[in-house]
Amino acid sequence: DQSVIITDLPGIYSLSPYTLEEVVARNYLVEERPDAILNIVDGTNLERNLYLTTQLLELGIPVAVAVNMMDIVEKNGDKINIEELSCELGCKITEISALKGTGVLEAAEAAVRAAKEEKQAPGHNFSGPVEHAIAHIEEAAMHDLPEEQQRWYAVKIFERDEQVLKKLDFSEETLAHIEKDIAAVEQEMDDDAEAIITNERYVYIGNLMKSCCK
């Protein structure tokens, strides 16, 4: 059997590099590209935790999700339909209780299985105008990147992420072309690009919560 190396990254809620923890976690995932990600989410605070999950699924790295504190969720009289959530997100989800030490091995095994399986597609689409702009960005500027990494970079470029733009170092011409696409969406949706992406993630997560949680 091959050995498995587990790297514990800082606990974060987003891949927007505003805090040191976010920078460390994001750089590791983007630069080192592990074989799989085990995303541990707090079942009692699922909506906030799924915000990061939607971003991780765009990285083109297999993701397994472990929902922690399910015993407390049930004690509160709430119900999370894990199978439905798994189906909607397009990744394997297990239940764990870190306090009781249950389900941890199953979660680790799910991550190992995810690493061996085929790449998974991103779990959700943004609205029409945003998807149109992202497709344009991929077409105009993503040729040098492996296919599975293109979507994450395109979304970040749409958000005008400074670190990503610095890293990719586009020509003035390419930047102007991309900027035109982004500005058109901002005008159409009457908001700035980063806020548009944030809002759309939360709309998607809100719909997930309605269909998977009671």
The residue assigned the tokens 């015993």 is 71
Predicted confidence (pLDDT) per residue in 139-157, tens digit = 999 888 999 999 999 999 9
Q: How far apart are CA 35 and CA 5, in angstroms?
A: 10
For residue 155, give both structure tokens. Answer: 């979304």
67 DSSP β-pair partners:
41, 95
Identify the weakest region by mean pLDDT among 92-101, 154-163, 200-209: 92-101
Q: How far apart are CA 124 and CA 85, in angstroms?
A: 13
Predicted confidence (pLDDT) per residue in 42-52, tens digit = 999 999 999 99
| pLDDT for the residue numbered 122 | 63
Per-residue CA distances from 130 to 15, 121, 198 (Å): 19, 18, 12
Vertex 144 angle, CA 143 and 149, to 5°: 85
| pLDDT for the residue numbered 117 | 84
The pTM assigned to this predicted structure is: 0.93
Are 205 and 145 within 8 A, CB to CB?
A: no
Per-residue CA distances from 118 to 10, 32, 63, 133, 163 (Å): 27, 19, 11, 27, 29
For residues 155-179, average pLDDT: 94
Predicted confidence (pLDDT) per residue in 80-132, tens digit = 999 999 999 999 999 999 888 899 999 999 999 999 986 666 678 999 999 99
- What does pLDDT average to over the chain? 93
For residues 20-36, average pLDDT: 95
Are 29 and 59 within 8 A, CB to CB?
A: yes
Q: How far apart are CA 152 and CA 174, in angstroms?
A: 18
